[in-house]
Structure 1
Amino acid sequence: MTIASLLCVALPFVLTVAAVQSASSFAGSSVSAVFPPPGATITADQSYFPDASQVGNSGPTPTGAEPEAIATAPVAAANTNIYPLIAPQTPYSGTGTPFEIPPGCELEQVHLLHRHGARYPTSGSAPSSFAANVQAAVSGSGFTASGPLEFLNTWTYKLGAEVLTPFGREQLFELGVGFRVKYGELLNKFTDLPVFRTTSEYRMVESALNFAAGFFGVPDYQTSYHQEIIVENDGFNSTLSPSPSCPNSVNDVAGDLGGYATGNWTQSYLNATVPRLQQYVTGLNLTTHDVYAMQSLCAYETVALGYSQFCGLFTEEEWRGFDYSFDLDFWYGSGPGNPTSAAQGIGYVQELVARLTKIPLTTFDTSTNSTLDGNNITFPLDQPIYVDASHDTVISTIITALNFTTLAANGPLPIDRIPAYQTYRVHNIAPFATNLVAQVLSCSASSGAVSSTSAATGSASYIRFLLNDGAVPLTGISHCEAPDPNGLCLLDDFIQGMQERIEEVDFYYDCYGNYTAPPVSSDKIIDGRVPQ
């Protein structure tokens, strides 16, 4: 007799069958959504939303050569040995706590702030300057490259300036598709067409349109929402491009802090790289600026052309040095270490509070735009979904204004070495297509989704922020100090904390005051404010 049969004989049969429950009356029925809402038309308020040709102020728009990676790239251009160490010229990748809604919570509202997609270098930046140096050497005393740099003998500069690359367009389209999959159900709560915002620069408009095409579909996006294009230029207020409203961020007071920190570090980490590469070049005396441009060309050629021979020239240590140069540039230029950063980002915080409380803005004393923000058509307060497109440095200032102190925990950043422990990494904060999402959730106290220290009685509204799909701790914000495993804070507490932060930031003094910013070598600022 087998053991199985002995067990069957020895043990009584105790298996019970659960009571059969009747299926819900709606089981198997069809469910569909209707969007745009009935009666909502694109023409109703169209005069408030001029298109890009009417707004103008698009900035430079030269395009580069067409890519031909299928012929020019010897291998697939993943460059996994250096990504993500060429920030912020790299695509974003989600990290941290999963973005799924915690059990026991329901999504009420979502706010998206995203960067444009991959672009060509800015006009007159290091990559084009290096190309000009090579061309000048060829036209002058002659230029010859050998060894790993031999490709420079036939290399040509194929990059445009500032506009999106094909890959950049794809990034924003995919971001739109992904956002629809995650948050599309909220469209059912709209009673009118959404208003999404961007700035007037060409790559910003193109990013916004590609996002909309992914989110609403083609050709439906053309009639599914209103695209607000805010002028990005001197003399115009905009929370999505605040530097023209903050002179100290671009003048001698604080405009070059990031550049100084980066320049100092570049001289250090590339000190041995210059002579290593110089041995393969005659006719051009390489500088650290040239070598830094080569590293930049790796990133820009990859996102524009699909492959770059510059990528294989550098060691992992040199790539880490390049990566850290952006950390320094952002920390001291538009992050926690710059005395104007919180002031630049505080206008967006004011808009966020207005949207969360549904209370219109009545005071316009920062980078907010009284014409647009004071109008309930161009600045609606009843949307379940908000989408704003901006730049990497602007998102950096907004994160500083929001007081996400966990990102700044290891500051100030040293300018002569990479710290062993580092929390502020630009490749996590502001890569191409970076996105910061604020989720407003309704959670029950009994669900276990929120910690006992932050839970309200019954059901209450909470907020949390996802940076590239990773939850950001809100413990640096007043009234949100209690750690929460899902990054949640009671919405009322968060709003109170932001109202206090708005009062704390002295926009006029930080942006217009006559003061001397501390030298980078002794800069102890970690909250984006002028030391008081």
Structure 2
Amino acid sequence: MTTRLPLGDIDLERTGSNSTSALPRLQKDPFGIDSDDNSDIETLNNSKYSQVLDSQSSLKGYNVSTNSFDDLNSEDYESSSKLPLNGEKKRSSKSRRNSSFGPSGNNRRRRAPIKPPKASIIAMVIIVPILVVIALFILLKWSSPSESKNVTPGVAPTGLTYPSGFNIKNNWGTLSPYFDTGANFPGIDSSVNEGISELPPKCSLKQVHILHRHAERYPTTGSGNSMAKTAEKLKNLTEPAAKTMDWLEQWEYTLGKELLVSRGLATEFAAGANFWASHGVLLFGAKDKGRFLYDPILNVNPDGSDRPPVVIRATSQSRIHQSADAWAAGFFGIYGHDPKRSEESLEKLKNPKKDIYNLVLQTEATGYNATLAGYYSCPNSNNATYVDGGRKMREWIDVYLEEAVIRISKLFSGLEEGQLTPTDIYNLQNICVYESAAYGSSPFCKLFTEKEWRGYEYAADLVFYGMASHGTPVGASEGAGWVYELVSRLEGKLITEYEAGWGVNTTLTSSEEVFPTNQVLYLDMSHDSVIVSVLTALGLDILKEDLPSSKILAPRQFVVSRLAPFGARLFVEVLSCEEDIAVAADRDNKKETIEDETDANNDEFAMRKFVRVKLNNRVLPLGSLKACPANKEGLCPFDDFIESLKFALEEIDFDRNCYGIPEGY
């Protein structure tokens, strides 16, 4: 039995069971450092960014964004940071030589007095007062007996809004509230993202598989304990804090641990209700039958026979199965009233967990295979030799919070020098995020600059890249089990002990009762790292980037606030399209038309079938998959999609990566 290694201050989804965060490729560099000649990806070091922001803070009269703190601005990450990080080089003016020199030699005439040029007079009028002010400032500073507690070093603006319009909530890594705005993934036409229910022309929706993340929660135990220690330092001050921190006298650390918060319940309920409106009415034919809410009489086979209640899956962890129930309440309209519901339907709604849907839980604990907590199926995911996301994050925290430690320490004169560490300052950022999730806002949020919030987001990227993605040999292995289950559901097959593999628990996949293969809707409620590992298992090229821990890589695709925020959702949509639809595939440098595809076992899919994958309502490009064509709609023929998934699974050496010594180690 494998013992899980302690992860210190890092707040990860995988920190225990009941006891115990793709970005579309940016059309513009969010940091404004792309060179004029569109050169390759650049990196941004801490000092360069700091100098520019420092200079920006000295500008007078800038217009601060009036965007609401809770607004989700679609331009926040694509082009919000308009600071002149490259700057425009000043044109060097040629010096003019004075051509009015006096005649050389001995002059017998008396020269007229030379009048000073007007420019010189103007310059003296401007410069002299400035020099006087500077001299007075230096004199006052030298004469001051001690530095005021309220003096803050000259830094970039802090607060809840920033001159660039930067939205901090969209840059909190996997702790960001759910949002689906922003630029498209590369190669995808913008028109396909105009609405979450937007379908290609002449196509209908036949089936959807959802991998969903739970929503807002309290911190995990490890992270909560670390934040509580930092809070204790601030509450035990021997002297009062700076005047700007007066609120600290009444503030108390009150965050719980592990559980879903009320805002999280609301997020999941809304997610379910929105999915009913965008997809459910199409999947269950509600529009055609005059229903605006779900009704059990809609859950029938094409021949009119009743289907059993929908099976929804989650894990045994509290926040996971509570999120699943909240989503189901929104989707099935359990608290809604539809006058067209029959007495029989109303009776079933009295016991929804039995008559409307069944919730199947995977045990989330060491020793159990669980595809919705794939790290428990892969023992090497606990081995620090192969998982170094936490180490890289700690290295980066020392870099990006170096200036913040100095600045914020000045606000607490009762603390000894060095008593506040980079980890403490990182904890203050975490407190801001978690208090915002639990209570809507936090006074700690206004202590940090845009640069520091960019750094906070990048810290989360480093953790998940090195824990669940291409930065570790176990990343793809942790997501392989769910991909294998997806293939089986698409093919309408059970997974028995004879087909076991990739960490699948065949006890839960060998029975139609708990692993149905003919539903039109599948919902699996899980964690952020599972969504990241599934995307990694697919082998999408857009996420294959190495992230350094000494500087921010920008622009980049791997940004977990876009991949797996609170309430994140991955949709695998099966579409049936009329036969005259053509998908141009770029294979072997030539265009070809995909052949018609039929399913002899299901007349419902007699038309040509395609698959489209959406991550947080943005269509993913599937052209890097083995057999899928590249096209602006993100469509892949059904059989080609399955072929691609099988190829991706064969590329993952699950046994070696999870139980042996991975290649290269």
Q: TM-score range by the shorter chain?
A: 0.7 to 0.9
Give the superposition deviation at 1:333.
1.1
In the other structure, the counterpart of 2:472 is 338
The alignment partner of 2:221 has SS state of coil
The alignment partner of 1:419 has SS state of strand
Residues 473/453 of structure 1: CA separation in 2 closer, same or farther (3 Å cut): farther
The alignment partner of 1:462 has SS state of strand
Letter in 2 for 1:278: S
1:497 maps onto 2:628 in alignment: no
Kept in 1: contact 2:270–2:330 (CA 8 A): yes
Give the superposition deviation at 1:138.
4.8
Measure, in 2, the Cα distance between the counterparts of 1:137 and 1:148. 14
Give the superposition deviation at 1:149.
3.3
The alignment partner of 1:431 has SS state of coil
Residue number among 201, 208, 215 corresponding to 2:324 in the alignment: 208
Kept in 2: contact 1:355–1:381 (CA 8 A): yes
1:282 maps onto 2:413 in alignment: yes
In the other structure, the counterpart of 1:121 is 219
The alignment partner of 1:371 has SS state of helix
Letter in 1 for 2:611: I
Residues 77/183 of structure 1: CA separation in 2 closer, same or farther (3 Å cut): closer
Deviations 1:322-380, CA, capped at 9 Å, x for gaps = 11111111111111211101111111111000001112223223221111111121111
Measure, in 1, the Cα distance between the counterparts of 2:556 and 2:431. 26
In the other structure, the counterpart of 1:238 is 370
Letter in 2 for 1:479: A
Structure-1-length-normalised TM-score: 0.79
Give the superposition deviation at 1:292.
0.5
Which residues in structure 2 correspond to 1:105-504 (within 5 Å)?
105-125=203-223, 127-135=224-232, 138=235, 142=238, 144-184=240-280, 185-187=282-284, 188=298, 189-190=300-301, 191-218=307-334, 220=349, 221-222=352-353, 223-255=355-387, 257-284=388-415, 285-362=419-496, 363-408=499-544, 411-447=545-581, 453=592, 455-457=594-596, 459-480=607-628, 482-504=629-651
Residues 512/82 of structure 1: CA separation in 2 closer, same or farther (3 Å cut): same
Give the superposition deviation at 1:449.
6.5
The alignment partner of 1:83 has SS state of helix
The alignment partner of 2:272 has SS state of helix
Larger deviation, residues 456-465 vs 397-406: 456-465
Measure, in 2, the Cα distance between the counterparts of 1:116 and 1:154. 32
Give the superposition deviation at 1:514.
2.8
Residues 372/154 of structure 1: CA separation in 2 closer, same or farther (3 Å cut): same
Measure, in 2, the Cα distance between the counterparts of 1:287 and 1:439. 47
Give the superposition deviation at 1:474.
0.8
Measure, in 2, the Cα distance between the counterparts of 1:427 and 1:111. 22
Letter in 2 for 1:300: Y
Measure, in 1, the Cα distance between the counterparts of 2:203 and 2:252. 55
Give the superposition deviation at 1:308.
0.4
Deviations 1:22-51, CA, capped at 9 Å, x for gaps = xxxxxxxxxxxxxxxxxxxxxxxxxxxxxx
Deviations 1:435-467, CA, capped at 9 Å, x for gaps = 000001112352356666453348421101000
Measure, in 2, the Cα distance between the counterparts of 1:89 and 1:124. 16
Letter in 2 for 1:443: C
In the other structure, the counterpart of 1:82 is 168
Letter in 1 for 2:490: L
Give the superposition deviation at 1:124.
2.6
Residues 347/166 of structure 1: CA separation in 2 closer, same or farther (3 Å cut): same
The alignment partner of 1:432 has SS state of coil
In the other structure, the counterpart of 1:24 is none
Kept in 1: contact 2:205–2:573 (CA 8 A): yes
Give the superposition deviation at 1:432.
0.2
Give the superposition deviation at 1:142.
3.0
Measure, in 1, the Cα distance between the counterparts of 2:257 and 2:239. 26
Kept in 1: contact 2:373–2:527 (CA 8 A): yes
Letter in 2 for 1:510: N
Kept in 2: contact 1:334–1:394 (CA 8 A): yes
Letter in 2 for 1:357: E
Measure, in 2, the Cα distance between the counterparts of 1:507 and 1:204. 26
Letter in 2 for 1:59: N
Letter in 2 for 1:90: S
The alignment partner of 1:124 has SS state of helix
Q: CA RMSD in A?
A: 2.2
Kept in 2: contact 1:248–1:511 (CA 8 A): yes
Kept in 2: contact 1:454–1:489 (CA 8 A): no
1:91 maps onto 2:189 in alignment: no
Kept in 1: contact 2:371–2:377 (CA 8 A): no
The alignment partner of 2:373 has SS state of coil
Residues 137/144 of structure 1: CA separation in 2 closer, same or farther (3 Å cut): same
Letter in 1 for 2:507: T
Letter in 2 for 1:498: L
In the other structure, the counterpart of 2:658 is 511
Give the superposition deviation at 1:307.
1.2
Count how many residue pairs are aligned between Structure 1 and Structure 2. 443
User: Structure 1: 5+ residue runs without aligned partners?
Assistant: 1-56, 62-74, 516-529
Measure, in 1, the Cα distance between the counterparts of 2:593 and 2:171. 37
Measure, in 2, the Cα distance between the counterparts of 1:113 and 1:316. 32
Kept in 1: contact 2:393–2:459 (CA 8 A): yes
Letter in 1 for 2:642: I
Measure, in 2, the Cα distance between the counterparts of 1:531 and 1:474. 28
Larger deviation, residues 168-177 vs 227-236: 227-236
Give the superposition deviation at 1:469.
0.4
Give the superposition deviation at 1:173.
0.1
Give the superposition deviation at 1:306.
1.1
Letter in 1 for 2:435: E
Letter in 1 for 2:534: I
Measure, in 1, the Cα distance between the counterparts of 2:331 and 2:240. 50
Kept in 1: contact 2:484–2:502 (CA 8 A): no
Give the superposition deviation at 1:485.
1.1
Measure, in 2, the Cα distance between the counterparts of 1:305 and 1:315. 22
The alignment partner of 1:510 has SS state of helix
Give the superposition deviation at 1:402.
1.3
The alignment partner of 1:174 has SS state of helix
Kept in 2: contact 1:404–1:472 (CA 8 A): no
Measure, in 1, the Cα distance between the counterparts of 2:530 and 2:318. 17
In the other structure, the counterpart of 1:52 is none
Measure, in 2, the Cα distance between the counterparts of 1:274 and 1:422. 27
Kept in 2: contact 1:175–1:214 (CA 8 A): yes
Deviations 1:97-156, CA, capped at 9 Å, x for gaps = 41311111111110011000100110131x5423324425655x7364214433333320
